[in-house]
Amino acid sequence: MCGIIGVVSLPGKTPYRPGVVVFRGLKRLEYRGYDSAGVAAIYNGRLIVLKGKGKIDELERKIGLSSIEGLTVIGHTRWATHGAPSDINAHPHTDCSGSFAVVHNGIIQNYRELKEMLIERGHRFRSATDTEVIPHLVEELYKSTGDVYEAFRRAISMIDGSYAVILISTYEPGKIFFAKKDSPLIIGLGDGFNLLASDIPALLEYTRRIITVRDGWIGYVSPSNVFIEELGRGAIDWSRYIRVVEWSLEDATKSGYPHFMLKEIHEQPRALRETYYGLIDDPAVGEAVKLLLDADKIYVTAAGTSYHAGYYYSLLLAYMAGRISSPFIASEYEVYEKTSGEGDVLIVISQSGETMDSLKALRAFKERGVRVIAVSNVVDSAIPRESDVTIYTRAGPEIGVAATKTFTTQTLALSWLVVSYAEATGKLTRSEAEEYRKWLGSSGDLAARIIASNETYALKLSEWMAGRGNAYYLSRGIGVPVAMEGALKLKEIAYIHAESYPAGESKHGPIALVEPDYPVLFVIPQHRELEKLLLGNIQEMKARGAVIIGVAPEDTVLKDQLDYWFKIPSSHWILTPITHTPPLQLLAYHTAVRRGYDPDKPRNLAKTVTVE
C-alpha cells in the first residue's frame, strides 16, 4: 500500500538530479499504489511540494514531478486508505508553516484524537488523510524542543498504528528523518548520498548495499551518515545490518516486455531453477522438517495466491505423507489461533513477507508458543524475521500486482518440504524421494516448454474469453488450488467473474448457472484416477452447453471432451501447479490486455497489502 522514496545527496553525487532519482524510484514503486503521487524537496531553504491525483506519468506531464530542484527530495505513490484519491489527499503532507513535509505508508489509528488536539491548538488541516497529523504534530512539538529529530521522535511515540514514514524539514535541510513500524522501509547506502524506499527495486539503480529497517527503529540519513536508534533503547550499530542484494537492475525492469506480468510469467523457468538449486543445500529445509516431525498440529496460513500455494502444500502433505494439516486464510486467524498451543507449528507463506494479515496471524500464533516456518521471496522482510525458520524462494522481484512466478516457486519449495518430510517419516523411501526431487528439478525446463508452446494458443483463446462475463475453474484433488489460482488471475486483472471449487460440487448448486457458451476451465493433472473422476464432471457441464477448456497432459484420456486444450508435456502430477498454472496466467494476461486493461495495475489492488 503506497510506495515511499527519499534521497539526500551532496551536489553531483547521484547519477541523475535527486528529483529525477525520486521520480524514477516512484516509477519502480508504482505497483504499490497508483491513484495519486507527489514529491517534496528543500530548495534554497524553502519547502517545495508537487502532487496530484493520477498516475505518475500523467502527473509528470501535468506538473513535472521530476523537475523538482534540491538535494533533499522525498516522494510518494499512493493507494488510498483514509481519504479518497484527490490532489489534496495526495502525499507529501505539510504543516501550517511549510517547514515539514511527510510521506507515509500505513495507517495511523489514533489520528482522530491527535487531529482534534492539534486543531484545538490552532493547526489548520487541508486533507482527509490520517497522515497529515504527522507534520502538524512535529510542528507543534518543534515549538517546545527546537530540535527536528527530537520533535519527530516525540511525535512518533505518540502515534498508534502502522507506518513507514519519512520527513524533511527546512530547519535541517540535509537530513531525511524516518521511522518504521509494520510497513516496509529500506535504507540504500550510496557514496555521498543515501536513500530510503519501501522496496528494493527503487534503489537498485544506485546501490546494492541496503539495510532493512526494523520495527521500532527511528533515525535519519544525511548524504554521508546514518543514525538509527531503537525507540526507547538507544542508538544501534547499524553497520551490522548492511547486506548486499543480489537482484540485478534487469530483474526490476520490463526488459522489453510490454508488462511486468508477462515478463514475470516468462521468468518462471529461471526462477524455478534458481529456487530448486537454492533448496538443494538449504539448511532451513532440515530445520523445518525437524519442527514438523515434532509438531502436534500443523497449521498453514497465507493470503491470496500464497494461500493457494499453502492449500496445495496441505493436500500434498495428506496425499504423500498421510499427515493432516489445517490450512486457513490469514485474515481468519482468530478462529484458529485458539485451537493452537506449544508443540504446534504454523507455516506462513508470503512472497513479500510483509502482508499484514499473514503477519498478524503469525504473531497471534507465536504468542501461544507455536513455532513458525516461513516461506518467502524477500530476504529480511517482516515475516521471515519473526519466524523460527525461513525457506526462501528465489524468484527475484515481482512487480506485477498479480503473483505469477512467486506462486510456482512457492509450490516448488513447499513440494520439496513435503518430500523431505515424507522421507524423514519413512512414508517415502530414499529412492522414491530422490525420484520426486528429480521431477522437481525438471520444473524449470518444463515451464520453459509449456510457456513457449501455449503462448499463441492463450492469445488466440483470449479473443473469445474477452467477451465472457463469467467462468468456472474446476478440478479435483491436488488440481483444485491450481484452478483457484487460475480463477483469481482472471478476476483480478481481466475483471471477469471467475469461481473455483472442487468439480464434484457442481451438482450441489453452481451448475444452475451453466448455459450454452459458459466457459468452464478444467485443470486436469497427470493422474489417471483424477482424470477418471473428472470425466463425469466434464460431461455434466458439456450436457448444459458449456465450453470446456482443458489444461491437460498431451496423453490425456479426456482429449475428446475438450473444446479447447492447453497441452502439457507428459510429466508427473506432483508438478501440477508448475505445469498447469502458466497457461492460466497467460490466458488471464492476454484476456486483460484485449479488454483494454493494464494487468500490472489492476484497479483497487496493490501489490503488498500492509494493512489489515
Beta carbon of residue 105, minimum distance to ligand M6R (angstroms, whole number): 15
Closer of 350 and 443 to ligand M6R (Cβ): 350
Catalytic residue among 13, 180, 491, 607: 607
- Partner residues linked to 53 by β-bridges: 36
How many angstroms separate the CA atoms of 33 and 369, rounded? Answer: 36
Q: Does 279 bind ligand M6R (CB under 6 A)?
A: no
Which residue minimizes CB distance to ligand M6R? 304
Size of the site for ligand M6R (CB under 6 A): 16
Q: Does 374 bind ligand M6R (CB under 6 A)?
A: no
CB distance 501 to 474 below 8 Å: yes
Answer for which of 345, 403, 482, 521 binds ligand M6R (CB under 6 A) is: 403
Can you spell out the DSSP letters for 107-151? EETTHHHHHHHHHHTT----SS-STTHHHHHHHHHHHHH--HHHH
Beta carbon of residue 355, minimum distance to ligand M6R (angstroms, whole number): 3
Binding string, 431-460, against ligand M6R, x = CB under 6 A? Answer: ------------------------------
Please report where in the chains the cell 470425466 appears, as a residue. Answer: 535
In 186-337, which ranges are continuous DSSP H helix? Answer: 260-266, 268-280, 283-294, 304-321, 333-337
- Of the candidate spans 151-159, 346-354, 385-393, 447-455, the one that interacts with ligand M6R by CB under 6 A turns out to be 346-354
Q: What cell numbers appear for 191 in the block? A: 557514496
Closer of 139 and 492 to ligand M6R (Cβ): 492
Q: What cell numbers appear for 551 in the block? A: 489444461
Site for ligand M6R in 508-567 (CB under 6 A): none
Site for ligand M6R in 305-334 (CB under 6 A): 305-306
Q: Does 350 bind ligand M6R (CB under 6 A)?
A: yes
Q: Does 340 bind ligand M6R (CB under 6 A)?
A: no
Answer for which of 358, 387, 500, 571 binds ligand M6R (CB under 6 A) is: 358
- Is the dihedral angle over the CA atoms 149, 151, 157, 160 positive or is it negative? negative
Binding string, 472-501, against ligand M6R, x = CB under 6 A? Answer: ----------------x---x---------
Closer of 44 and 604 to ligand M6R (Cβ): 604
Closer of 347 and 558 to ligand M6R (Cβ): 347
How many angstroms separate the CA atoms of 165 and 2, rounded? Answer: 11
Q: Does 337 bind ligand M6R (CB under 6 A)?
A: no
Closer of 136 and 308 to ligand M6R (Cβ): 308
Q: Does 402 bind ligand M6R (CB under 6 A)?
A: yes
Beta carbon of residue 302, minimum distance to ligand M6R (angstroms, whole number): 6
Please report where in the chains the cell 482468530 appears, as a residue. Answer: 334
CB distance 193 to 223 below 8 Å: yes
Catalytic residue among 2, 53, 181, 601: 2
607 is catalytic: yes
Residue count of the chain: 612
How many angstroms separate the CA atoms of 572 and 584, rounded? Answer: 19
Q: Does 401 bind ligand M6R (CB under 6 A)?
A: yes
CB distance 401 to 607 below 8 Å: yes
Identity of the residue numbered 207: T
- Of the candidate spans 232-240, 302-310, 414-422, 559-567, the one that interacts with ligand M6R by CB under 6 A turns out to be 302-310
Q: Does 304 bind ligand M6R (CB under 6 A)?
A: yes
Q: Does 408 bind ligand M6R (CB under 6 A)?
A: no
Report residue 43 CA to chain centroid gap: 35
- Of the candidate spans 48-56, 141-149, 399-407, 550-558, the one that interacts with ligand M6R by CB under 6 A turns out to be 399-407
Answer for which of 74, 321, 609, 611 binds ligand M6R (CB under 6 A) is: 609
Long-range contacts of residues 390-395, Cβ cutoff 8 Å, at least 24 apart: 390/284, 391/279, 391/282, 391/284, 391/285, 391/288, 391/417, 392/278, 392/282, 392/284, 393/271, 393/275, 393/278, 393/351, 394/271, 394/274, 394/275, 394/277, 394/278, 395/267, 395/271, 395/274, 395/275, 395/351
Integer-rounded Cα Rg, in Å, for the chain is: 25
Can you spell out the DSSP letters for 194-206? EEEESSGGGTTTT
- Of the candidate spans 3-11, 250-258, 348-356, 515-523, the one that interacts with ligand M6R by CB under 6 A turns out to be 348-356
Closer of 506 and 608 to ligand M6R (Cβ): 608
- Is the dihedral angle over the CA atoms 115, 120, 124, 126 positive or is it negative? positive
How many angstroms separate the CA atoms of 324 and 529, rounded? Answer: 21
- Partner residues linked to 302 by β-bridges: 329
Q: Does 352 bind ligand M6R (CB under 6 A)?
A: yes
- Of the candidate spans 13-21, 395-403, 546-554, 577-585, the one that interacts with ligand M6R by CB under 6 A turns out to be 395-403
Interface residues with ligand M6R (CB under 6 A) are 303-306, 350-352, 355, 358, 401-403, 488, 492, 608-609
Enumerate the active-site residues: 2, 607
